Amino acid sequence: MIRSTARVLAVVLVPVLGPGPAFADVIAFKLLPNYSRATFKSDAPLETFVGNTAAEGVAGTLAVDPAKPQTATGMVKVDMNLVRTGVDKRDADMRSKNFLETEVDANRWVTFEVKGVEINGPLEVGKAIPVKVRGVLTVKQKPVERVADATVTWIKLTPEQVENQRRFGFTADNIKVRARLATTFADHNIPLPQIFVFKVANEIQLETDLTFVRQ
């Protein structure tokens, strides 16, 4: 009788539980600054320029289950005090009280908080997969919802490869994210000073090339 009951329970439970573990395998990642960058581009009538971060100017975290990347969460932040456009006077003007006012610590950081990922299926090792990343972009303390077009690549290293790459900060699991999105200063309640009208575009193109390593 006991054996019969056990066989019945097995028949019932196997289709429900499935062959694999019931819990998601969420991996926590941190940004590897020396192999990451963030840039923004302004294309105004009189001037086009690109701002770039230094390695210490970008940080972030990511939590993702490679089998269900749709539920990924994360945060990336850029220190605007460390962005350089190639012209010191322009950099100073950008950070001034008349514009980004980065002397206020809360204004110093541009952040993007990941709220969801649109992707067809799981991540595949070594394959760059196109995705759309939904999130909240905050500039000068004004958050707006944005969707970034991105590619995500899951890179796994063998123990031998990890040993060779450890001094650079790489781990057994690594995620490369390349993304693009656009925003406007107006959407973040940042008026363009009259002196900047023809030299700084209202629309800004943002681009990231980020490497995350397992924590």
pLDDT value of residue 24 = 56
pLDDT at 193 over 90: no
Pairing of strands 203-214, 173-184: antiparallel
pLDDT exceeding 70 applies to what percent of the chain? 89
How much is the pLDDT for 143? Answer: 98
Burial of 208 (0-12, 13-18, 19+ CB in 10 A): buried
Does the structure show a pLDDT above 50 at 20? Answer: no
Ordered domains of the chain (ranges, CATH): 25-214 (2.40.128.110)
Rounded distance between C-alpha atoms, residue 58 and residue 210, angstroms: 9
User: How much is the pLDDT for 77?
Assistant: 97
Q: In this predicted model, what pLDDT tens digit does every residue of 153-164 receive, in sequence order?
A: 999 999 999 999
Task: Report the run of H or E that residue 160 belongs to, with start and end.
Answer: helix 159-165
In this predicted structure, the answer to whether residue 99 has a pLDDT above a threshold of 80 is yes
| Residue 203's pLDDT band (cuts 50, 70, 90) | very high
State residue 195's pLDDT score. 80
Query: 52 phi and psi, to 5 degrees?
Result: -125, 145
Kindly report the average pLDDT of the chain as a whole number.
90
